[in-house]
Chain A
């Protein structure tokens, strides 16, 4: 089923930056077929049979790691999870050494998450297999942006011309960066909504309009994409309190009503209910939050499939 889809021409997926809109659309098209597959009783294919996928997580994650694990297994790969946050790094082993050690076990695909921007890029230069960036610092989280795009496309039928408001902690968010690049590449109008302390310098030059007043930023938005506010950033460092944050930047019914009538709500998870989003909105019919999780597996299957076509003997 994948043979007629256009070929993804890269060996790694390190970020959305550097991908053409054709690359992106090819991945989304391929992921569509995996959404259907994942809804069948028989969910497995032999695409990655005999291949080894290592999920190398230097930062704890349950959801993304589980999603990649399931994606690899549904494609028939042998999947191993390594959480390095708790093991060798504490013994003083460097990122490069850890990567070299794992690469010596001859994996075909490494899925890597790291707390430092650029770390996955560095690692990809030191190993001979395909590398997927599962999030590097505040830099990029490409599979999240792809799954967000597919979720939007499936619900709105298009991305071109839509107004997407990304709200919350833009400063520390790799999800925001990947989404800004991807949504711009596919012709959406991107708005950012955040207090100024959570906006990176010069972000307005990345093809977005910036709002510090959420009520203005939400006017007529087709998609409202909420970001998680990390606990440690809530208490005085960037915003004074979660109470004040929710008052001005939390998505509740009243604020959502300012967006387009058929606006849809997204969140990359895990949510802080009552901090950035009210339970009422999160669980409403306008919420795509659970669908995002489903699409996530399909998108990751598509990415692994696309990369596998560049593997030796593949």
Chain B
């Protein structure tokens, strides 16, 4: 024992988080209580008054704070391999930890892409050494993300892939998508598509409509999304594959998903935090940090996204974290890269909807932890004895102004820079180990 380092000691210590508001999104239970942690897992949950504790347990005062499962973010770009100047597993996971995210599913459109079991091994080893939260790869659906041949679903799953998709690129060829779904069904693999028809997007750079027309910017019609989504739904229905539309952005897509679910299609869908909290007007005078895909839509569509989340038609909320270098963003709007930072501000931004009374905290947290965890077969995302101690302690009302210079990502392209948000993560635990603790001041 004398040889243990400080870090090891921290891992070995039992932790008790006392007198917090416990929110278990898996059951919807929300009340005062305490959680005990030992050996990477939750060992006890005591609702009501705090229990008596033995020696050697670290006590964390949870009064006025929310204790909930750590967030599971199904979509983030983490830079490795090939774009370490934008983000690394280290920096991206630090940003995640500061945002209460304990599991990240990283995008496969890296360089080289995650289309081979060896790359999955690389990510797993790098994550073990450098990342402070769990990192699980989404594997590419096609080799080289070229949209031509499907990848080795079986071998990639064995190596640790949790889903299949081509990242920011949509699977364009319907025959290939159909075969991928048929093949994926044998492994019960999850297919995740970016639903944006590249032909219908054309040269579009922001939501089609009056605002784009005034700015002289080519528009992206909502049909770019609905046409591809409808195609995928028909294929998923015919093949019986497990299908997840990575991010939807308009009311018509909500109708399509709602109807498909009612018809028994094995479909789920996500929404980006950007489409829940920002609209096309945020582009303002050509702010390239607000250039994202799917594009920021009209305010009516944003409100439809919130309603669909509250209704449960939208299953998960993702950060769509996409760190971009200064040079790809300091460009005329049409020539700038898509993408926005998101993982660190995900929860505070999402809490806007809670503070505005548009959704309850347990329902929001379910879309941020329980449901994404379930989709990729993880046992986290719930407050239950035996569940992994992936937790976050949140001050839901803490007011703050986002300062991009203080964000932990390597890039600084946050659309929330200078935004006034309420809610700050105070502590994040992964497998019972404290990986983030806010500076008290």
Contact = CB atoms under 8 A, between A and B. Distances in A.
A205 B332 CA distance: 25
A119 B286 CA distance: 9
Given A117-B215, A201-B212, A95 B285 contact: no
A273 B124 CA distance: 65
A202 B331 contact: no
B327 interface: yes
Interface stretch (A48-56, A135-143, A214-222, A245-253): A135-143
A201 B208 CA distance: 6
A202 B331 CA distance: 26
A201 B213 contact: yes
A118 B332 contact: yes
Nearest to B335: A116
Interface of B: 208-219, 221, 285-286, 327, 330-335
A312 B89 CA distance: 50
A183 to B, nearest CB: 15
B394 to A, nearest CB: 37
B210 A206 contact: yes
A118 B210 contact: no
Contacts of B210: 201-203, 205-206
A84 to B, nearest CB: 13
Interface in A174-205: 174, 177, 200-203, 205
B206 to A, nearest CB: 10
B216 A117 contact: yes
A122 interface: yes
Contacts, number: 70
B208 A114 contact: no
Contacts of B212: 200-202
A117 B333 contact: yes
15 contacts: A94-B330, A96-B330, A116-B334, A118-B333, A118-B334, A121-B286, A122-B330, A122-B331, A137-B216, A137-B217, A137-B334, A138-B216, A139-B215, A200-B212, A205-B210
B213 A200 contact: yes
Interface string A203-237: 10110000000000000000000000000000000
Given A117-B286, A121-B286, A122-B286, A94 B213 contact: no
B214 A94 contact: no
Contacts of A177: 214, 216
B214 A206 contact: yes
A65 B113 CA distance: 46
B285 A118 contact: yes
Given A94-B327, A201-B208, A122 B214 contact: no
List 9 A-B pairs, minimum CB-CB distance, nearest first.
A202-B210, A139-B216, A116-B332, A118-B286, A200-B213, A117-B216, A138-B216, A119-B332, A201-B208
A17 B211 CA distance: 13
Contacts of A203: 210, 213
A4 B277 CA distance: 50
B63 to A, nearest CB: 47
A41 to B, nearest CB: 41
Nearest to A17: B214
Nearest to A119: B332
A117 B213 contact: no
Interface in A81-123: 94-96, 114, 116-119, 121-122
Contacts of B286: 117-118, 121-122
Nearest to A138: B216
A96 B329 CA distance: 11
Nearest to A96: B330
Nearest to A205: B210
Nearest to A122: B332
Contact of A206 (B213, B218, B219, B285): B213
A117 B331 CA distance: 11
A201 B218 CA distance: 10
A21 to B, nearest CB: 19
Contacts of A119: 332
A202 B209 contact: yes
Given A140-B216, A177-B214, A117 B332 contact: yes
A140 B285 CA distance: 13
A118 B215 contact: yes
Given A95-B332, A118-B332, A201-B213, 12 more contacts: A117-B215, A117-B332, A117-B334, A118-B217, A118-B285, A122-B331, A138-B217, A138-B218, A140-B216, A177-B216, A201-B221, A202-B212
Contacts of B332: 95, 114, 116-119, 122, 137
A116 B211 CA distance: 16
A201 B214 contact: no
Contacts of B214: 17, 177, 206
A116 B291 CA distance: 15
A43 to B, nearest CB: 34
B324 to A, nearest CB: 14
B124 to A, nearest CB: 36
A219 B223 CA distance: 35
Nearest to A139: B216
Contacts of B215: 117-118, 139
Contacts of A139: 215-217
Contacts of B211: 202
Contacts of B213: 200-203, 206
Nearest to A176: B216
Given A95-B331, A114-B332, A117-B286, A174 B209 contact: no
A73 B216 CA distance: 31
A122 B209 CA distance: 22
Contacts of A200: 212-213, 219
Nearest to B219: A201
Contact of A201 (B209, B216, B333, B334): B209
Contact of B333 (A94, A116, A174): A116
A287 B215 CA distance: 31
Contacts of A138: 216-218
Contacts of A174: 216
A85 to B, nearest CB: 14
A117 B217 contact: yes
Nearest to A117: B216
A228 to B, nearest CB: 16
Nearest to A125: B285
A38 B213 CA distance: 37
Pick from B210, B213, B327, B332 the residue with the most CB of A within 10 Å.
B332
Contacts of B327: 94
Nearest to B330: A96
B134 to A, nearest CB: 38
Nearest to B287: A118
